[in-house]
Amino acid sequence: MAQPQIPPSDSNSAHKVHSQSIVLPAGIISIADGFEKNEHSWFATSQIPTDLSIQVQDITFNVHKYPLVSRCGYLAEVELQPSNSNLGYDLKLENFPGGSETFEIILKFCYGLPVSLNPDNVAALRCASEFLQMTEVLEDGNLISKTESFLSFIILSSWRDLITVLKSCETLSPWAENLQIVRRCCDSIAWKASQENLSSGEAINDEGWWFEDAVTLHIDHFSRIIRALKAKGMKPETIGSCIICYAKKWLPGMDVQLEGLRRFNYSKKELHLNIVSSRRQEGNVGNNGQRMIVETLVSLLPPEREAVPCKFLLGLLKIALVHSASQALISEIEKRIGMVLEKADVDDLLVPNCIIADQGKTMNPPDESTMHNIDVVLRIVEYFLMHEQRQENQEQKSGKLISKLLDSYLAEIAGDPNLSITKFQVLTEVLPDNARMCHDGIYRAIDTYLKSHPSLSEHERRRLCKIMDCRKLSLDACMHAAQNDRLPLRTIIQVLFSEQVKMRAAVQGKEQPTICGNSDQEESLSTKEIRILKAELEKVKEEMQELKRDYTELQREYIRLNKQPSNPSGWPFGWRKIRSSGFFGRKVDGTDAREGQHKSNSMDHRVNLRERMSVS
């Protein structure tokens, strides 16, 4: 009898694939040389007539009763039905582990023919031998003990063999689970992966060599490995990287970027076709399978914020929405995104507003609905604020980052013709007042909304513009808004007042204009403007000094004339004389002329600046 060949222990043989082992039953003299196939029937090639017909799936095996009953307790106990041909018995094996191919190998073993054990068939043979009760009570070295030995001493020592066995277990439920084959393989894989990472230093965000194999497994087996790795203390960043790799393989929609959503002429029909085409690339995994993968991956995410990036979480959220995941799962993902929202970008927040029916058919939302799922983003921001209340030391910094992100998002969705003022306003006011140091982003979003909704009434435009605080606009934004005929008149007046205050503060050196953008060009333009205004201010100061000197001379002339005795009434006579003097007219009129010319030049300069520094 040939026994399994057990290789010596080698810690470096994780990738080694062991050779097959040939086993024979003990003390058996074969009464058949092999089997012949005739369509869906198999016959033992023997001079002794067969007396037992066993059907497994769609194959009928015509065999001898004694070799099987002597090694299979199940066949010894089961009640066999007499054959219709009166030449033996009939038996049908329902739900036989491994199917007809596995049963053929068991027949060879029972007949004493050579049997090859390998990673592809050992799990099925172990389950089938358990089904047939091939125990040591019936025969020493029966198939249960041989397959157990092969699993324990051969398979569990080889990484590749473990992966192969786990894949074969996908069709052996619940036998592989009950016999602990899956658990033992998953634990062994987790141990080898953790040891490999420890020996290699486990660099953060570096994909381990085991990622490529682990992500090919069924989601149930993958989740077992990840949970075992967590229990062994593997870093959350490494676990997160492995989860991301698995999602990219089994959720192809994660990599589909709906760039067209950023163009507001992107039709719902195009959105429908884009989602359907991405789902067709998912292979044979249906809508329910996709939903199960998403739910499992979310449950496996480490609790640490740095475990997975925000972009990945938003991708998971889009897939979950497309495949109609449960609301509890959606909320869980939204909470996770809220914890790291400051690391998101605008494109990732553009969640398409689509509906997937139970049958997996993609349906477009009603015509009056928005192109983007606004409610999802609103809930995410609310979760962010709830999280920040527990992180008071970072609230101000994160709040500023979120304000820029949210303002950019508002500008992207403002062009949607179905976006109501109420929903726009709610999303705008979700942040506290102190979160925005500058309202240039709000102004840009409002201006885009006004462009896309030209039929708004005056009342609606005033309501919309109340969201914006003109005092928090930069000088550039003020100059643009002052010429924006889409704004209501009251808002333009407020903008003009704010602009004058900022310019006065700038030229007096009390305060620099608010620079909300990060553009070096905008900063240089504002600095240039300040220099020009300061130069004009110096000219005005010189003219004011001349006016003061003229005024002093006028006072002396008035006193001199008022002291003359020929003026009984005093002031009226003196005033008429001063008014009629060419000195007063020359000085005052000349000053007025110069001042008017200065105002005209200053106004022309401001108009040119407005045209040059538009923020639209």
What pLDDT sits at residue 369? 78
The answer, yes or no, to whether residue 39 has pLDDT greater than 80, is no
Q: What is the pLDDT of residues 556-582, one digit of tens each?
A: 877 877 766 554 444 444 434 434 444
Q: Cβ contacts of residue 526 below 8 Å, gap of 6+?
A: 475, 476, 512, 513, 515
For residue 151, the enclosing domain spans: 21-176
H or E element that contains 184? helix 181-200
Higher-pLDDT residue of 434 and 486 is: 486
Higher-pLDDT residue of 261 and 329 is: 329
Which contacts qualify for 423-430: CB closer than 8 Å, 24 or more apart? 423/370, 423/374, 424/449, 424/464, 425/463, 425/464, 425/467, 426/378, 427/374, 427/377, 427/378, 427/381, 428/467, 429/467, 430/378, 430/381, 430/382, 430/385, 430/406
What pLDDT sits at residue 106? 93
H or E element that contains 601? helix 582-612
Q: What is the mean pLDDT of residues 92-113?
A: 91
Record the tokens describing residue 445, joined without a space: 């979003």
The mean pLDDT of the chain is: 76
What pLDDT sits at residue 368? 61
- Residue 42 counted as domain residue: yes
- Residue 255 counted as domain residue: no
Structural domains in the chain (count)? 1
Q: Is 354 helix (H, G, I), strand (E, B) or coil?
A: coil
Gyration radius of the chain's alpha carbons: 42
Confidence of residue 515 (pLDDT cuts 50, 70, 90): very low
Higher-pLDDT residue of 410 and 285 is: 410
From CA 438, how far away is CA 471, in angstroms rounded? 9
Confidence of residue 609 (pLDDT cuts 50, 70, 90): very low
Bridge-partner residues for 54, per DSSP? 61, 91
The answer, yes or no, to whether residue 202 has pLDDT greater than 80, is no
Query: Structure pTM?
Result: 0.71
For a pLDDT cut of 70, what percent of the chain falls above it?
Answer: 67
- Residue 43 counted as domain residue: yes
Higher-pLDDT residue of 615 and 153 is: 153
Closest by CA position to 314, among listed 348, 340, 339, 341: 348
3-state helix, strand and coil shares in percent for the chain, rounded to the nearest 5:
60, 5, 35
Record the tokens describing residue 245, joined without a space: 């790799």
What pLDDT sits at residue 147? 95
Determine if the peptide bond prior to 67 is cis (ω within 30°).
no
| Cα 303 to chain centroid, rounded | 16
Confidence of residue 396 (pLDDT cuts 50, 70, 90): low
- Residue 130 counted as domain residue: yes
Q: Is 60 helix (H, G, I), strand (E, B) or coil?
A: strand
Could you tell me if 418 and 371 are in contact, meaning their C-beta atoms sit under 8 angstroms apart? Answer: yes
Could you tell me if 451 and 486 are in contact, meaning their C-beta atoms sit under 8 angstroms apart? Answer: yes
Indicate the residue type of 22. Answer: I
From CA 587, how far away is CA 553, in angstroms rounded? 11
Q: Which of 82-86, 137-141, 277-281, 299-303 has the lowest mean pLDDT?
A: 277-281
What pLDDT sits at residue 294? 92
What pLDDT sits at residue 74? 92
DSSP state of 78: S
Q: What is the pLDDT of residues 310-352, one digit of tens each?
A: 999 999 999 888 888 889 999 999 999 999 999 999 999 998 8
Record the tokens describing residue 409, joined without a space: 């998002």
Higher-pLDDT residue of 5 and 143 is: 143
Per-residue buried b or exposed e for 167-195, using 16+ beta carbons within 10 Å of the residue's own CB: bbbeebeebbeebebbebbbbbbbebbbe
Closest by CA position to 465, among listed 480, 447, 441: 447
Selection from 52-66, 124-138, 315-329, 474-488 with the highest mean pLDDT? 124-138
Confidence of residue 27 (pLDDT cuts 50, 70, 90): low
Task: Give the angle subtended at the CA of 80 by the CAs of 78 and 82, to the nearest 5°.
Answer: 170
What pLDDT sits at residue 366? 52
Tokens 């492995």 belong to residue: 242
Q: What CATH number corresponds to the domain at position 82?
A: 3.30.710.10
Tokens 């195009």 belong to residue: 270
For the chain, first and last CA: distance in Å?
87
Closest by CA position to 315, among listed 247, 406, 219: 247
- Residue 38 counted as domain residue: yes
- Residue 598 counted as domain residue: no
Query: What Å distances lie between residue 467 and 181, 376, 471, CA to CA?
Result: 63, 22, 12
